[in-house]
Amino acid sequence: MTLVQELRDLLGDERVLSDPLRTHVYGKDAGIRRGEVLAVVLPASTAEVVALVGIAARHGIPVVPRGAGTGLAGGTVPTSPSLVVSLTKMTHFDVDVESRSAWVEAGVLNLDLSEHAAGHGLHFAPDPSSQAACTIGGNVANNSGGPHCLAEGTTVNHVLAVEVVTARGEVVVLGGEAPDPIGLDLRGIVVGSEGTLGIVTRALVKLTPNPPAARTLLADFARVEDAAATVSGVIAGGIVPAALEMMDRLMTTAVERFVGAGFPTDAAAVLLAEVTGHPAAVEAEADLIRAVAESNGAGRVRVAADEGERALLWKGRKAAFGAVAQTAPDYYLHDAVVPRTRLVEVMAKVYEIADRFDLAMMNVFHAGDGNLHPLMAFDASQDGVMDRVQTAADELVEVCVAAGGALSGEHGIGLEKRDLMPLVFSQADLDAQARLAEAFDPDGLFNPEKVLPAGSRCFDLGRPVPAGTWI
């Protein structure tokens, strides 16, 4: 029996996509790479996922788990003809108000969960810019962040347990309701593993109480360096805001044309800051942020007058990537991380790289934790532009790592940064990570050739292993 026929016998015709026109859509994510898809399946239950894993294993076909496809690192792009398991039909969730938690299936949209929980005075803290479209399963796979993760932490800090389908077709629950369970933290290993260890079908997530008060401030600066210095000054002043975001002039202009959120387009950079908590504390912290911004040369510091204005400012920030379409048909970005104290220095190098490669570089990023998003807007149909973009992108990451930073803050490694892993990890580090992946998935069934570059295992290096070496 053919692979497709066996899949149709299990799920029916409507939930198995094999027509080239339909599978083409699933060959890429929101990044720039594309892969080949043999078929796409849309399971509606964990039991169906188990059956699909068994079918793929029998046919020797790689399995690529997928959420909404909003990832930017090529994490769900097949590296060889593969079966894509799209979990978007798994959308059930149960909120437990008393324990402030919820069991959530992988296909639930991030924003849907928070909007439902809002009726109970709760929300799911990780809030990626794509939260209206991205799924909880994708958030778990990439350990996603968002503007409001500065004080609260990324997805791993809000996941208590995960239900995982293993390569052997077993269903295991890693973690539990206790915030600090006894034993190895296998839950923490799976969160952020980008679908390489198993398929996460459900997650037990923490829900955070909505704050009693919030203040959102917008400050504009004549120099990018002054905005970056304000970021360090705010943290040094003893405040960890709920969010501290930065955009430069090119990005602010694109956003303002797209949304009309009231961002000043004559400023070199703007900072969007938010503080939450008790009303008295919020007022005091807002005053301190204003003072730090003004001491660093802020031209105007505006506080959102009401919830409507606050929502509009955040709508503008979260629409940034979509707004780029007005500038050019394509864009490429990384999410490398640098120490806050090196922001000024690194941003200068970012603009130098843009000038040297003749690229429109637009910047919007989580300034509070140094998570940069340098975004190159371009037209891929122009001869030679992709080579310039890729070379510049790799150099951007190298600059960030040299400054003491990391490869990724929230988008994951996927294909885009896979071959840059040796910039940060030694051969011993990579070998240890490869051993861990083999322990979960010995046959390399799930999302192969992602995250770890070729040669990560000692015996993959093309040279004999010395006698007595522990492997």
- Model pLDDT, residue 464: 42
User: Which residue matches tokens 């208590």?
Assistant: 160
Shared domain for 9 and 22, answered yes or no, is yes
Question: What interhelical angle do 46-59 and 3-11 show, nearest 10?
Answer: 170
User: Where is the domain boundary, 283, 307, 322?
Assistant: 322
User: Where is the domain boundary, 277, 301, 322?
Assistant: 322
Shared domain for 13 and 61, answered yes or no, is yes
Q: Which residues pair with 174 in a beta bridge?
A: 162
Return the exposure string of 117-155: e unless at least 16 CB atoms fall within 10 Å of the residue's CB, then b: beebebbbbbbbbbbebbbbbbbbbbbbbbbbbbbbebb
The sign of the dihedral angle between the CA atoms of 441, 442, 446, 451 is positive
Shared domain for 265 and 168, answered yes or no, is no
Shared domain for 182 and 76, answered yes or no, is no
3-state DSSP assignment of residue 58: helix
Shared domain for 192 and 235, answered yes or no, is no
Q: CA 183 → CA 96, 121, 188, 356, distances in Å? A: 25, 33, 12, 51
Is residue 418 in a domain?
A: no
Shared domain for 287 and 360, answered yes or no, is no
Is residue 271 in a domain?
A: yes
Tell me how many domains the chain contains. Answer: 4
Q: How many residues does the chain have?
A: 471
- Model pLDDT, residue 460: 53
* Alpha carbons 121 and 32: distance in angstroms, whole number: 39
Is residue 441 in a domain?
A: no
Is residue 425 in a domain?
A: no
Q: Which domain holds residue 378?
A: 328-402
Is residue 49 in a domain?
A: yes
The CATH code of the domain that includes 63 is 3.30.43.10
The CATH code of the domain that includes 362 is 3.30.70.2740
Q: Which residues pair with 220 in a beta bridge?
A: 270, 300
* Alpha carbons 325 and 331: distance in angstroms, whole number: 8
Residue ranges in the chain modelled with pLDDT below 70:
459-471
Strand arrangement of the beta sheet that strand 300-303 belongs to: 300-303, 213-221, 269-277, 243-248, 360-365, 374-378, 330-333
- What region does 204 belong to: left with phi over 0, alpha with psi -120 to 50, or beta? beta
Shared domain for 176 and 201, answered yes or no, is yes
Shared domain for 194 and 255, answered yes or no, is no
Of the candidates 10, 199, 194, the residue with the CA atom closest to the CA atom of residue 107: 199
* Amino acid, single-letter form, for residue 178: A
Is residue 412 in a domain?
A: no
Cβ(143)–Cβ(200) under 8 Å?
Answer: no
Task: Look at strands 101-105 and 93-96 and give their pairing.
Answer: antiparallel
Residue 338 CA, chain-centre distance (Å), reads: 16
Is residue 440 in a domain?
A: no
Task: Look at strands 374-378 and 199-206 and give their pairing.
Answer: unpaired
User: Where is the domain boundary, 382, 402, 422?
Assistant: 402
Shared domain for 301 and 396, answered yes or no, is no
* Alpha carbons 335 and 154: distance in angstroms, whole number: 14
Of the candidates 129, 94, 91, the residue with the CA atom closest to the CA atom of residue 108: 91
pTM score of the predicted model = 0.93
- Model pLDDT, residue 467: 40
Is residue 465 in a domain?
A: no
3-state DSSP assignment of residue 245: strand
Shared domain for 197 and 98, answered yes or no, is yes
Rounded to 5 degrees, φ, ψ at 39 are -160, 155
* Alpha carbons 211 and 38: distance in angstroms, whole number: 47
The CATH code of the domain that includes 314 is 3.30.70.2190
Shared domain for 104 and 190, answered yes or no, is yes
Within 10 angstroms of residue 57's Cβ, the number of other Cβ atoms is 15
- Model pLDDT, residue 58: 96
Q: CA 125 → CA 95, 424, 458, distances in Å? A: 15, 29, 40
Cβ(221)–Cβ(268) under 8 Å?
Answer: yes
Shared domain for 378 and 392, answered yes or no, is yes
